[in-house]
Structure 1
Amino acid sequence: MYRYDEFDHDFVEARVAEFSDQVQRRLAGEITEDQFRPLRLMNGVYLQLHAYMLRIAVPYGTLNSRQLRMLGHIARKYDKGYGHFTTRQNIQFNWPALSDIPAILADLASVEMHAIQTSGNCIRNVTADHFAGAAADEVADPRPYAEILRQWSSVHPEFSFLPRKFKIAVTGAERDRAAIQTHDIGLHLKKNAAGELGFAVYVGGGQGRTPMVAKKIRDFLPEADLLSYCTAILRVYNLYGRRDNKYKARIKILVHETGVEEITRQIEAEWQELKDAELKLPEADIQAINAYFAPPKLVDRPEGDAAVKQARLDSKNFSEWLDQNVVTHRHPDYAAVTISLKGIGEVPGDATDSQMEAVADIAEKYAFDELRVSHEQNLILPHVARADLKAVYDALVEISLATANSNLISDIISCPGLDYCALATARSIPVAQEISRRFASLERQREIGELKLKISGCINACGHHHVGHIGILGVEKKGSELYQVTLGGSADENTSVGEIIGRGFSSEEITDAIEQIVDTYLGLRLSPDERFIDAYRRVGPAPFKEALYAGETKAA
């Protein structure tokens, strides 16, 4: 993974000192909250319902054990003993005292972390496939390019005050695990017919109150042109993006209103002025960044197959976890492990201080000191020898993180909702907890199969409900919380926005409604291998509407 150089250390330490002074001035009453707001947002500090919240960047979701231990330390010393991993592969602390935040940032700087550009109308944390560098279906590791983009975009003088926030995602595999088509810029790393690396470029994706799937504007961009082309996109957006209405300020609106052909023409014209200038990436620079992401030395461990086979016979629970949370690695003697942060009845994405420290120990001992945060709010051990899988599982059991539900209905993405967020209009955490309890049986979950359920507590869609196979949006209506259901969304290589199925449901009704949807799917699927999303695309919304609202229609 990337390591700070002298410039990085000096820059981050200077920002800590600068913000420390700003905090002291705020605490002394020398500046008002309105004056302080833009300063704190530049450093990842939000004011939520009950306290300040600090969002910490985890670039492209990559961590080492030292960094995760520091996050555990911060949770214990400065918060309430836990942190919340987010859909941008970051982590949030919801209860820090403002007076403590400079000390937190100093602690983060000591392990090469920060909170810069985790808020504001700038280029946010660049995200990537959480199996990057390990995935068997990968063309190339996307993280070096995410790091190049991070360095280019950090405190970029031209793009620090955009019309609205801007999000970039990169994937290097045919299977899109980074949801690139839901981003302002999505980059799909690929090879052309000559075997050269480059990118398919997507622009104008996003969720929120106007969900849109990104449009492909270039099928192949040479890797050397990555920064110049992204600069061209940002310049067109910065020039023409709306600043009069924040709800129409994202690039997706500009693409929609301008038209994909015209926006592509504008971007290409701007790029022609940039492509052969100083932003062209020298091969030596690309290789220098690539060197930071050299794969670990994976020695052959052929004993793994026999060890796994025996462990399966000895433990049904281990066998189920292996089937659900362990995926194929590019090296046949290794695997990538998903550590589910979705225990039944627990808060999705939360991890305690002791859990973070224990996972750090596991990563250091069994996973070459490397971890990932997924946009699905789980942790990943990307390089585990198959011979060590049982030991890893046993260690996770000890800290209550061995739930075998990756990609199942209880593996719910959820924003913090009205329990924390000042923008929320409804609670999302209690709904997620109740649904996971309703479907607690692993046997039942596995019978249902892959099902992506995502919950947002407001229209900003931080819970990605628009692209859930089943999406739930909490809204406020006449003083009550109602939950609107969408079906048919997806965030993979076949990205789609879910369709609103009908009227909303109360908090007392929503879990029953989800169960009715699931039962309807089980009754109409062609075989156990037909996933929910595939069945929905085959039959459409009609049978689900009939199941949910038939009595109301007849009564009317």
Structure 2
Amino acid sequence: MYVYDSYDQRIVEDRVKQFRDQTRRYLAGELSDEEFRPLRLQNGLYIQRYAPMLRIAVPYGLLSSRQVRKLAQIARDYDKGYAHISTRQNVQLNWPDLEDVPDILAELATVQMHAIQTSGNCIRNTTTDQFAGVARDEVIDPRPWCELIRQWSTFHPEFAHLPRKFKIAVNGAAQDRAAIEVHDIGLEAVKNAAGELGFRVSVGGGLGRTPIVGSFINEFLPWQHLLSYLEAIIRVYNRYGRRDNKFKARIKILVKALTPEVFAERVDAEWTHLKDGPTTLDDAEVQRVAQFFVDPDYRALVDENERLEGLDREHPGFARWRSRNVVLHKKPGYAAVTLSLKPTGVAPGDVTDKQLDVIADLADRYSFGEVRNSHNQNIILADVEQQSLFDLWNELRENGFASPNIGLLTDMICCPGGDFCSLANAKSIPVAESIQRRFDNLDYLFDLGDIDLNISGCMNACGHHHVGHIGILGVDKKGQEFYQVSLGGSSARDASLGQILGPSFAQDDMPDVIGKVIDVYVERRTEEERFIDTFRRIGIDPFKERVYAANH
């Protein structure tokens, strides 16, 4: 992973000193709320329903065990003993005291971490595939390119005050695990007929109040021009994006208003001033960054399929876990393991300080001291020897990480909702738990197969409900919390937005509503057909008829 040089370290430490003084002045009454607001947002600090929320940057979701231990200590010393994994692969603290935030940032700086550009109208954390660098279907390792984008975009003076927040995702594999088509900019690594590397570029994707799937405006951007082309896109957005209405300020609104074709023309016109300029990449610069992402010291191993299948037969629980939480690795004899943060009764994505300490220990013993966060709000050990899987499984069971539900209905994405967020119309976490309890039969869950269920407490869509196979949105009806259901969304390749099922439901009705939706799928599916496939084949009407039948 990327390691700070002395220049990086000084920038972060100076930023801590600066914010410490800004906080002191605010608490002393020398800065108004309005004056302090942009300063705290530039350091990842929100004011939520009950307390501040601090969002800590985790570039492309990658952490060292040392950093995980520091997060555990901070959660213990400055919060209520837990942290939350966000859908941008960052870490959030929900209960810090404002006067402690400068101390937290100082602690983070000791392990090369910060909270810069995790909020505000700037370029946020660039995200990617949680299996980057180890996936068997990988075209290139996207992490060096994410790091190049991070270094280029952090503190970029031209893009510190964009019309709205800006999100970039990079995918380097055949399968899109980074949801690039619902980002402001999505980048997909491709190779042309000559074997040369480039990027397919999507713009104008996003969720929130106006969900839109992005449009590909460049089918092959040579890698040397990546940063200059990104700069051209954001310059066009910065110039023409709306600033009079924050609900219409995202780049997706501009791309739709202009049309993708006209937007692409304006980008090309701007690019003529930037192409072959100072931001042009060369082999030396790419290699400078790529050297931080070389393979760890893998051992020469062979795949242990026969031995693992024997353990599967002896231990059905291990077999279930291995089938859902373990994926193939590019190196023989290794596997990538997902630690589920979705056991029933726990807010999806939450992890305690003690669990963070355990994760750090497990990373040191099983995975070269490295941890990844996924945008699905789980944690990954990416380099586990297959011969250690059984031992690891037993340790995960002891510490609450072994729920064999990755990709299943109970592995849901869920925002903090009305329990924490001042913007939320409704609570998310109790709905998630009620559905988890309704579908607690593992045999039934496994029979249902892959289903993405995403929950958001408001139209900001932090829970990505628009792209859930089943999406749930909290809405306010005359001061009462209700929930709107959509079906057919997907964040994978050829992304799609869900269709609203119909009128919203009371919280207590939600488990039954989801149960009826699932019943239709079970009755109408063909063999080996996933929920999203069945929905696309039969459409929304059969689901609507079943769910609302009792109301007619």
TM class, shorter-chain normalised?
over 0.9
State how far apart, in whole Å, the 2-side matches of 1:387 and 1:148 are. 36
Contact 1:454 1:463 in 2 (8 A): yes
- 1:304-453 equivalent positions in 2, closer than 5 A: 304-453=304-453
- 1:80-229 equivalent positions in 2, closer than 5 A: 80-229=80-229
State how far apart, in whole Å, the 1-side matches of 2:302 and 2:167 are. 41
Question: What residue is the counterpart of 2:481 in the other structure?
Answer: 481
- The CA deviation at 1:35 is 1.6
Report the AA paired with residue 544 of structure 1: F
Question: What residue is the counterpart of 2:7 in the other structure?
Answer: 7
Report the AA paired with residue 479 of structure 2: G
- The CA deviation at 1:301 is 2.3
State how far apart, in whole Å, the 2-side matches of 1:440 and 1:90 are. 29
Contact 1:471 1:489 in 2 (8 A): yes
Contact 1:301 1:387 in 2 (8 A): no
State how far apart, in whole Å, the 1-side matches of 2:54 and 2:304 are. 42
- The CA deviation at 1:426 is 0.3
State how far apart, in whole Å, the 2-side matches of 1:464 and 1:341 are. 17
State how far apart, in whole Å, the 2-side matches of 1:46 and 1:273 are. 37
Contact 2:303 2:334 in 1 (8 A): no
State how far apart, in whole Å, the 2-side matches of 1:547 and 1:251 are. 38
Contact 1:345 1:433 in 2 (8 A): yes
State how far apart, in whole Å, the 2-side matches of 1:95 and 1:485 are. 31
State how far apart, in whole Å, the 1-side matches of 2:365 and 2:223 are. 35
| CA offset digits 1:306-350 (Å, max 9, x no partner) | 542332233111111000100111112111111110001211000
Report the AA paired with residue 319 of structure 2: S
| CA offset digits 1:426-460 (Å, max 9, x no partner) | 00010001101111111110011100000000000
State how far apart, in whole Å, the 2-side matches of 1:303 and 1:257 are. 53
Question: What residue is the counterpart of 2:472 in the other structure?
Answer: 472
Report the AA paired with residue 347 of structure 2: V
Contact 2:466 2:489 in 1 (8 A): yes
State how far apart, in whole Å, the 2-side matches of 1:84 and 1:440 are. 23
State how far apart, in whole Å, the 1-side matches of 2:316 and 2:510 are. 33
Contact 1:304 1:388 in 2 (8 A): no
For residue 343 of structure 1, give the secondary structure of its aligned residue in structure 2: coil
Identity within the alignment, %: 55
- The CA deviation at 1:303 is 7.0
The gaps in structure 2 that reach 5 residues or longer are: none
- The CA deviation at 1:390 is 0.9
Contact 1:304 1:385 in 2 (8 A): no
- The CA deviation at 1:514 is 0.5
TM-score, length-scaled by structure 1: 0.98
For residue 92 of structure 1, give the secondary structure of its aligned residue in structure 2: strand
| RMSD across aligned positions (CA) | 0.9
Contact 1:305 1:387 in 2 (8 A): no
Contact 1:58 1:90 in 2 (8 A): yes
State how far apart, in whole Å, the 2-side matches of 1:432 and 1:7 are. 44
State how far apart, in whole Å, the 2-side matches of 1:233 and 1:488 are. 30
Once the two structures are overlaid, the 10-residue window that deviates more, 297-306 or 388-397, is 297-306
- The CA deviation at 1:52 is 0.5
State how far apart, in whole Å, the 1-side matches of 2:166 and 2:374 are. 19
State how far apart, in whole Å, the 2-side matches of 1:294 and 1:15 are. 30
The answer to whether residue 269 in structure 2 is matched with residue 273 in structure 1 is no
| CA offset digits 1:186-224 (Å, max 9, x no partner) | 000111111111100000000001000000001111111
- The CA deviation at 1:417 is 0.3
Q: Count the aligned residue pairs.
A: 552
For residue 337 of structure 2, give the secondary structure of its aligned residue in structure 1: strand
| CA offset digits 1:345-403 (Å, max 9, x no partner) | 21100000010110111111111111110000000111111111111111111111111
State how far apart, in whole Å, the 1-side matches of 2:59 and 2:106 are. 18
Contact 1:168 1:185 in 2 (8 A): yes
Report the AA paired with residue 149 of structure 1: I
TM-score, length-scaled by structure 2: 0.99
State how far apart, in whole Å, the 2-side matches of 1:505 and 1:463 are. 18
Question: What residue is the counterpart of 1:547 in the other structure?
Answer: 546
Contact 1:142 1:170 in 2 (8 A): yes
State how far apart, in whole Å, the 1-side matches of 2:30 and 2:244 are. 31
State how far apart, in whole Å, the 2-side matches of 1:395 and 1:105 are. 32
For residue 24 of structure 1, give the secondary structure of its aligned residue in structure 2: helix
The gaps in structure 1 that reach 5 residues or longer are: none
Question: What residue is the counterpart of 2:534 in the other structure?
Answer: 535
State how far apart, in whole Å, the 2-side matches of 1:383 and 1:190 are. 25
For residue 14 of structure 1, give the secondary structure of its aligned residue in structure 2: helix
State how far apart, in whole Å, the 2-side matches of 1:306 and 1:27 are. 64
| CA offset digits 1:122-156 (Å, max 9, x no partner) | 00000011100010000010010000000000011
Question: What residue is the counterpart of 2:230 in the other structure?
Answer: 230
